[in-house]
Amino acid sequence: MNSVNPELVQKAIENIDRERLVKLVMDLVDIPSPTGYEGDVAKALNDVLNTAGIKSVLQPIGDDRYNALGRLQGQGGGKSLMFNGHLDTSFGPEQAHRGLGYQCKATLVDDDWIYGMGTFNMKSAMGTYITAVEAIQNAGIKLAGDVVISGVAGEIEKAPVNDHEGPMYQGYGVGTKFAITHGAIADFCILGEPTNMMVIPRHCGSCWVKITVPGHLIHTAWSEVEKNAINKSRVVLDAIHEWIPDYCERNTLGDFQPRVNVSAVEAGWSWRGARTPDNCVIYMDVRTLPEDLPIKAYNEVREMIARVVDDNPQLAGTTVDPFMTVPGTSIPDDHELIQNIVQAHSQQLGQAPEFAVETWMSDAAHMNRYGIPTVNYGSAGRIRTGGGGFSTHQGEATHIGDMLDIIKVYIQVIMQICGVVE
């Protein structure tokens, strides 16, 4: 780790602009950007970065979707640090009726919390990145290495399947994978996902599987219960239900276990009740340990279904297909990047950060595989009524004080990694 003059760090911290931070986050939240429709917010971010003196370009990735890639070039001789964040939100304007946290309009509550779609995941992080860099600039501090800010499209966990196609289904890292092959390079990267100030050096991978149980398309008048695809699929669902705890127990990392989700079931036509379905399709999300590849999960599911079919001849013809796969990721706890975060967090906030493994997936999976050591570490992830995580009742929100705290840490990490020209 590089040492840094604490007086210079404090000088930068004194230049943190709370009002600027709040406006940045609220302005970004006010621009709807569900997956596939990130163009407007990317253009707005591009303007903000350029105005802040962080030279930015728009990267078109197709269908009026863009990344905004900014780089503050240092004086030379230092290492470079990237801050990556996705611009797409988990939901869009159609969820606004559920409350403040789901609206594509930011609302300030008690002058402590900002509610609105994307505040939690993860437009608040983009505000913290920019505010940290601006504080360093406003303090007149010159960096040796570069700081890169990458706002990317298409991170949310979505994938095309069957007739569901087009930009709104293109997620799981399409923006970051484009960015890191088109100029978004650095020695290290921090992803400000909503980790509640915890350091997340590792997280699960994922394998989405489609299981198709064949049926017999025919009029109700001539239908047979045992040939109905929905009825036949009950055997498969029961087998999956029995397999899930065994899979989780066999795949452990200390006290941590991945999870499996039966995410959807499709069969028949609700508007044509006089017909039996020609098939029933079961969709699963199987999470893998950070070091395991999706093929392992796929093979397990395929073998489990094969045993069920062997024991139940009426299921003959059942198929198992993967349709979205992403590996997990990890970097060592003693990695240079993590140790810099631990040192800065400890000094700025008075105690060492907690570490955790997460079940969710982030673009760190792609960054690490392209040789840019990346860790998840962000301020969002606390619920206003108490506790960590996410409240489906309250929706998305971020605490302003938490953002200000992590900005202090980001400032010190930037100065430690990039180096200061005195």
Q: What pLDDT was estimated at residue 94?
A: 81
Closest CA to 83 of 141, 36, 118, 122: 122
CA 126 to mean position of chain CA atoms: 13
Confidence grade of residue 1 (pLDDT, cut at 50, 70, 90): low
One domain for residues 109 and 152: yes
Q: Name the residue range of residue 40's domain.
A: 6-203+328-421
Query: What pLDDT sits at residue 422?
Result: 81
Q: Say whether both 181 and 283 belong to one domain.
A: no
Asked, for residue 362, whether it belongs to a domain, the answer is yes
* pTM for this entry: 0.95
129 and 229 co-located in one domain: no
- Indicate whether 253 belongs to any domain: yes
- Which tens digits make up the pLDDT trace of 183-201? 999 999 999 999 999 999 9
pLDDT in tens, 290-345: 999 999 999 999 999 999 999 999 999 999 999 999 999 999 999 999 999 999 99
Q: Read off the pLDDT of residues 62-108 as tens digits, 9 standing for 90 and up.
A: 999 999 999 999 999 999 999 999 999 998 888 878 899 999 999 99
Residue 407 pLDDT greater than 70, yes or no: yes
Rounded to whole angstroms, the Cα distance separating 414 from 408 reads 10
Under 8 Å between Cβ of 152 and 175: yes
With vertex at residue 130, the alpha carbon angle to CA 126 and CA 133, rounded to the nearest 5 degrees, is: 145
pLDDT tens digit string along 144-184?
999 999 999 999 999 999 999 999 999 999 999 999 999 99
Q: Are residues 231 and 305 in the same domain?
A: yes
Domain count for the chain, please give it: 2
Q: Is the pLDDT of residue 409 over 80?
A: yes
**Residue range 4-17, pLDDT digits in tens:** 999 999 999 999 99
**Residue where a domain terminates, one of 326, 355, 378:** 326
Assigned domain for 1 exists? no
H/E element holding 202? Answer: strand 199-203
Quick check: 269 pLDDT over 80?
yes
pLDDT tens-digit series, residues 350-374: 999 999 999 999 999 999 999 999 9
Is the pLDDT at 128 greater than 80, yes or no?
Answer: yes
Last residue of a domain, one of 295, 326, 357: 326
Same domain for 387 and 367 = yes
